[in-house]
Structure 1
Amino acid sequence: MAFDADDEILQDFLVEAGEILEKLSEQLVDLEQHPDDSDLLNAIFRGFHTVKGGAGFLQLDALVNCCHSAENVFDILRNHKRKVDSELMDVVLEALDNVNAMFEQVRNHEELTPAPDELIAALDALARPESGTAAASAPQPEQTGGNQPADGGDITDDEFEQLLDALQDDKSEGAPPAADAGEASGDRGSSGGDEITDDEFEALLDQLHGKGQFAGAPAGEEESAGKDPQPSAGAGASGSDDLITDDEFEKLLDDLHGKGGSPTVGDSAAAKKPTKPAQPEKPKEPAKPVEKPEAKGAAAPAMPARESAPAAETTVRVDTRRLDDIMNMVGELVLVRNRLQRLGAASEDEHMHKAVSNLDVVTTDLQSAVMQTRMQPIKKVFGRFPRVVRDLARSLKKEVNLVMHGEETDLDKNLVEALSDPLVHLVRNSVDHGIEAPDIREKAGKPRQGTVTLSAEQEGDHILLSIEDDGAGMNPEVLRRKAVEKGIYDQDAADRLTNTECYNLIFAAGFSTKDQISDVSGRGVGMDVVKTKIGQLNGQLSVESELGKGSRIIIKVPLTLAIMPTLMIMLGDQSFALPLVNVVEIFHLDLTKTNIVDGRECIVVREKVFPLFHIKRWLVRDNGAREVPANAHVVIVAMGTKQVGFVVDQLVGQEEVVIKPLGRALQGTPGMAGATITGDGRIALIIDVPSLLQHYG
């Protein structure tokens, strides 16, 4: 391994190869749905080829070998010598898994674990043409290779060598031209292989562009070509008719490769007439990059491409820890702004009001700009799901189509990483529990292939994610029965559960509707982890379902975890902050009109019943006789689909706060998510609503 190589080169490889491997996972699953997509086949071939090249530069031999074998398979596929099928994709996806594993070992500076020999052997077997397609597609590589430059594509060195070899084979089988070709071949070999004859060049152009486009030189030139059957190595330089110079041949190769497509008729004719009076001026032409109007009008897009090339240098790679530091400093600036706003409101100085107002605008813009630098498209998470769904559907013998919307929706990079595991659980749950087997779907009048839809959209300062399937849906009665069997509710309480409350039972720890445990599900340890994780992100979960039609799970999470909008409240003389994501509504209440249901104080608002909690009794020390005010403010807060009322003494207003971790003495305090500094300079504790209710309620 070459980890002692320049660290900057290694980092460049990790960034570039990491992006390519992410795309490959999506492209391979897409290829299985569209096996004849030549653009996709070429893109996958280039992906493996690029990773192999970078790994070879760093002397990562195990990674090179696996990529090379996979690359060979796609070389056969794109030349139509083999067809894509599920068994082939299983092998290729296993190869990609091994490449990803080795890539992670490179990232962690660990010794590489080579791919298993049987996997390499399976890839090598797939890299050979199928017997049924080999004969039918035998002439394809030459024609395909020949057409690529004419279409503006690129021909590889290996393909060019194959054309020359095929040319020699054809000439050796011919009659009168065979002797000349043999002599020319021998002469070329004796002169170092730098020169080819006009006949060979003619045949090569026929191979590349098809016969008839380049009919050969005039008869006069053919006669002069026959006068010197044994040219020397320096004949091209001395003006022989038979040979083209090295410079001319190099120019031809440049035209065939990356410099504007295939040569035109005029260029080719000039290349075959080295003895014309204009010959001394010929080598100057390659030095004129603008002179390409003959290349099928490619000059127009060529110039803007060259002018825009430096734009790639406008990006810079920044350590994410530096962005985190900047975000923390912006958070401190937000606290200072809040303090100045409170002081400015108490001042009658007009200039002070204007200065504070300007500071507010600048701080808000700066906060938004810094947050944008930390944003990543949720496609980073979504990109892995086509492979997850494909593998799971094959193992369960189901037919599932994954549809994704809103992949470009941006959210904080920390949230992107944190949402990955919960979304995997939910998508796997939809495929396993939601989508029925093809035969069952057919009997129910549905298409054999089920659909799982994954979507994301921004709503204000939150992101809405939904996972929807068109499967069997959930049966509330089955969920009630399971809840009683698991001891979560007694029969009377279970009977009073609404359908929505029944659906939310799937997030209870140890709850599962599966009768048989498998390696996919059935232990009831997945969905409660999802609920816990979303709760830690200050998010909410809700479930909708219709029996026989399908289910939908909706996740609502904040755009960022760094700065949180809150509702500031007072309990006694102590400030507390309620995350605004949990707040549903606020109203003033006459506490003498409460009711008692199942021994718990409740209120009825618009024919809905809400449990009522005096959180001051939990969070503030009682210094005397507890008095119950006749009137109070009630804040309705939500956790998923459950809503309760918190009785508070005073409402201060909405304020953006920066979450500070609690000190060692207070870490782990039930119901507390952290602390912040309020606009009036006081310290306020931030309430963790789910934890508070779980501990006290």
Structure 2
Amino acid sequence: MDMNQYLEVFIEESKEHLQTCSEQLLVLEKNPEDLSIVNEIFRSAHTLKGMSATMGYEDLANLTHKMENVLDGIRNNQIQLTPEIIDVVFMAVDDLEAMIYSIAEGGDGKRDVSDAVRKLQLIEKGESPVGPGEKESAASAETAEKISGFDQFELTVLQQSKDQGFNSFQITVELREDCLLKAARVFMIFEVLEQVGEVIKSNPPVDELEEEHFDQRFEVTIVTKESKDVIEKRIMKVSEVDFVQALPLDLQNVKEAASLEEEKNSRAVLEQEKQPDKAVSQKAASKPAIKQSNKTIRVNIERLDILMNLFEELVIDRGRLDQISKEINNQELNETVERMSRVTGDLQTIVLNMRMVPVETVFNRFPKMIRQLARDLHKKVNLEIAGAETELDRTVIDEIGDPLVHLLRNAIDHGIETPEIRKANGKDEEGQIKLKAYHSGNHVFIEIEDNGAGINKDKVLNKAISNGIITKEGALSLTDKQIFELIFASGFSTADKISDVSGRGVGLDVVKNTIESLGGSVTIDSKEGHGSKFLIQLPLTLSIISVMLVEIQKEKYAIPLSSIIETAIIKKDEIMNAHDQQVIDFRGKVLPLLFLKDVFEVPEENETDSEFLSVVIVRKGDKLAGLVVDSFIGQLEIVLKSLGNYLNSAFAISGATILGDGQVALIVDCNALIH
């Protein structure tokens, strides 16, 4: 039997089962006693195992089988669920997802999953998945990472000590789980260390160790004349110490390793951010379906694209027929065209709805990402999602994933404080992030709100001035909202140091550019000490848009209605000059004028001596501008067509459309003009 005919269904259903596993694992982590959740995960894993074996993907089936055994042991109370076991099951799900994506991209689904299999087998035997050997390797791996935590003074001390013949060690100490007086044991260990050398740094800091704000493990960096073995033996003499490892700290090697690790992690983060979008694209590519009350059929996205292209041609012909009927003025023809317009209008609604995809296809991947990021940053974060059923056009869905990833990572890294700081400020230790989507008119709004530290206006202003984004004089006249928007500037970052999450000044400028390229906008509201809210506004669809048709000499241009505030007729003598720019007074605001015939270099054929000018007032965020045209033609629904690869660099032109009379009208990109 040829299994290829079932491949698409297998990939799609596998993704759905893995998504269920991820979602239910997050729920299980908060409710470890609820075995019904384990049953739900088990059912998805069991189905996935059977499908994989049927399709001939043995590696997939074997890993799922191991995971299934552990889940079966948990639901039958043979295995006690712990955070470490949940981590291992998450690891197995991540491996399974990677294998499915490999198959979806034409690969064989092969992957080295020996680590996940070994840990699952240890759990199945009733052993801990994190053995002593792994503690040592984990400590070794962390040593290179910890070097980046030293400040310049500490690095200088370490270097000078090395020059004077001292040894530098990074010491990892782990106390027994049943240790009652952790602070007392830490004090005794520090006494031992001070007898053999000098303590340079501890992680967590000493004050947190004294208050027992750590689990069982902590690290200490010392300089000493003693050897590794002597240090380890002396610390092990302190009672209730379970594990000690002293690793030599070779500054040069570790610095190089840290640099390579940072570069590798940065690449991994970028890949991680791009990969889920691929998953969203593929999921959207096969999942959009014609939904009825009780049935759903899967429709290949290519067929929907063909249907959309054919309908776009129909819209163009509808416009042409409408124009012909007005010229001929035949009653029967007018009635037929009117009826055809109503039918095509209904058809347009159906076609667009078929392309609509719930934003949950993007939102679903965030809980797991936030869980991992919060753990990496030692923060407690709860993500609350609302409005995941809100629908957007597939083309918008494909593009919105990356901006949302950046904003959520920014909220956790810059917004939410550590539990200690939140507690000191009288807040709940667990930070809250709300991700909400909803419809309003012809737009979809997505809100990302956190109850973290908010935006420090002074810090943003000082950084913007030092980066040359604004001048000190210009900073005095900025409103709070304008100050917040400075964080969208290219290369801007308030992070004190570069990390895997932030600090390179890349992210928020990409967010703004991507959203504006989709015809949307993003605004910020923040209150220092209470949190921030990012509001994204997006169009429902990008294919068919409403425009104002204008004329410049004999050429026609289309300006999207979503950018227009109003139209106006002004007198030429109302125009003033300010800073080499022609402006007008628009309701108390200075409004710059842009003459489109000059911007697009339209050949001037008919000179008019009229004392009046036609102006279209457009907006980009808080910025306004007046576009001067020769005349207004009227509003129209048009089909947006790309200009192709050869003309994609045309300034302030986002595409073109074919009008009813066969003429081509260029679509004006108001964002580029105002920018």
TM-score above 0.5, yes or no = yes
Tell me the residue number matched to 2:659. Answer: 678
| Rounded Cα–Cα distance in structure 2 between residues aligned with 1:599 and 1:395 | 52
SS of aligned partner of 2:465? helix
Report the alpha carbon displacement of residue 674 of structure 1 after superposing the two structures with TM.
Answer: 1.3
Is residue 58 from structure 1 mapped to residue 39 from structure 2 by the alignment? no
Q: Percent identity?
A: 39
Counterpart amino acid of 1:674?
Answer: G
Deviation at 1:567, TM superposition (A): 1.6
Measure the CA separation in 1 of the matches of 2:492 and 2:391.
33
* Residue 103 (structure 2) aligned to one of 98, 103, 106: 106
* Change in CA separation of 1:568 and 1:623 when aligned onto 2, cut-off 3 Å: closer
Residue pair 2:552, 2:602 contacting (<8 A) in 1 also: no
CA distance in 2, matches of 1:469, 1:503: 15
Q: Cα offset for 1:90?
A: 1.8
Select which of 112, 116, 120 maps to 2:113: 116
CA contact (8 A) 1:450 1:471 kept: yes
Asked whether the equivalents of residues 553 and 602 of structure 2 are also in contact (C-alpha less than 8 Å), the reply is no
List aligned pairs for 1:575-594, cutoff 5 A. 575-594=556-575
The one-letter amino acid paired with 2:506 is V
Distance apart, 1:400 and its partner CA: 0.7
- 2-structure distance, mates of 1:628, 1:403: 61
Pick closer, same or farther for the CA change 1:474–1:664 going to 2, 3 Å.
closer
1:513 to 494, 501, 506: 494
Q: 1:13 aligns with which of 10, 22, 26?
A: 10
SS in structure 1 at match of 2:298: coil
Equivalent in the alignment of 2:76 = 79
Aligned residue for 2:595? 614
Given that 2:553 and 2:605 are in contact with CA atoms closer than 8 Å, whether structure 1 keeps it comes out as no
Structure-1 residue corresponding to 2:584: 603
In 2: Cα distance, 1:18 partner to 1:114 partner: 17
**From 345, 358, 361, the counterpart of 2:342:** 361
- Check conservation: 1:63, 1:114, Cα contact below 8 A: no
Query: 1:468 aligns to what?
Result: 449
Deviations 1:225-246 (A, max 9, x none): xxxxxxxxxxxxxxxxxxxxxx
Choose which of 373, 377, 384 in structure 1 pairs with 2:354: 373
Q: Report what 2:538 is aligned to.
A: 557
Give aligned pairs, total. 512
User: In the TM superposition, what is the alpha-carbon distance from 1:356 to its structure 2 partner?
Assistant: 1.7
Q: Following the alignment from structure 1 to structure 2, what is the Cα–Cα distance between the partners of residues 104 and 675?
A: 36
2: CA distance between counterparts of 1:654 and 1:626?
A: 26
Higher strand share: 2
Indicate the residue corresponding to 1:636 in structure 2: 617
Counterpart pick for 2:479 among 498, 501, 523: 498
1:325 lines up with 2:306 in the alignment: yes
CA gap 1:665/1:411 in 2 versus in 1, 3 angstroms: closer
Distance 1:519 1:617 in 2: 46
- Corresponding position: 1:35 with 2:16: no
2:402 is the counterpart of 1:405 = no
Q: Deviations over 1:372-402 (max 9, x none)?
A: 2211111100000101111111111111111
Q: Structure 2 regions of 5+ residues with no counterpart? A: 129-291
Query: How big is the shift at 1:46?
Result: 1.0
Which of 41, 45, 49 is equivalent to 1:44?
Answer: 41
1:477 aligns with 2:458: yes
| Counterparts in 2 of 1:474 and 1:591: CA distance versus 1, 3 Å | farther
| TM-score normalised over the length of structure 2 | 0.72
Matched-pair contact (CA < 8 Å) for 1:32–1:84? no
Shift of the 575–432 alpha-carbon distance from structure 1 to 2, 3 Å rule, reads same
8 Å CA contact 1:504–1:543 kept in 2: the answer is yes
Say which SS state the counterpart of residue 644 (structure 1) adopts.
strand
Query: 2:443–2:538: 8 Å Cα contact kept in structure 1?
Result: yes
Compared CA separation, residues 102 and 635, structure 1 to 2 (3 A)? same
Alignment RMSD: 2.4
State the partner residue of 2:66: 69
TM-aligned CA distance change 1:597 to 1:477, over 3 Å: farther
The 5 A counterparts of 1:9-408 are 9-129=6-126, 315-408=296-389
Deviates more, 1:326-335 or 1:648-657: 648-657
Deviation at 1:593, TM superposition (A): 2.7
Closer, same or farther in 2 for the Cα pair 1:433/1:537, shift >3 Å? same
1:425 to 389, 401, 406: 406
Distance 1:666 1:114, change over 3 A: closer
**Aligned residue in 2 for 1:164:** none
Separation (CA, whole Å) in 2 of partners of 1:588 and 1:572:
17
How many angstroms apart in 2 are the aligned matches of 1:84 and 1:596?
A: 73
Amino acid at match of 2:55: L
Is the contact between residue 76 and residue 129 of structure 1 (CA under 8 Å) also seen in structure 2?
Answer: no
Gaps of 5+ in 1: 132-310
**TM superposition shift of 1:659:** 1.6
Give the Å deviation of 1:630.
3.7
CA distance in 2, matches of 1:463, 1:91: 38
SS in 1 for 2:349: helix
Distance 2:544 2:631 in 1: 23
Letter in 2 for 1:354: E
- Give distance in 1, aligned partners of 2:16 and 2:403: 23
User: Displacement of 1:555 after TM fit?
Assistant: 1.3
| Aligned pair partner of 1:650 in 626, 631, 637 | 631
The answer on whether the counterparts of 1:570 and 1:650 sit within 8 Å (CA) in structure 2 is yes
Paired letter, 1:603: I
Query: 1:242 is matched with which residue?
Result: none
Secondary structure of the residue that 2:647 maps to in structure 1? coil
SS in 1 for 2:305: helix
Tell me if the contact between 2:565 and 2:617 (Cα under 8 Å) persists in the aligned partners: yes
1:495-537 per-residue CA deviation (whole Å, 9 max, x = no partner) reads 2222212211121110111111000011111111112211221
CA contact (8 A) 1:81 1:130 kept: no
Could you say if the C-alpha distance between residues 316 and 498 of structure 1 is closer, same or farther in structure 2, counting changes exceeding 3 Å?
same
Q: Is the 8 Å Cα contact of residues 637 and 644 (structure 1) preserved in structure 2?
A: yes
Q: Alpha carbons of 1:497 and 1:16: their partners in 2 closer, same or farther (altered >3 Å)?
A: same
Separation of aligned partners in 2, 1:629 and 1:551: 50
Secondary structure, aligned partner of 1:609: strand
Whole-angstrom distance in 1 between the partners of 2:63 and 2:440: 44
Amino acid at match of 2:88: V
Shift in Å, 1:628:
8.6
What residue is the counterpart of 2:513 in the other structure?
532
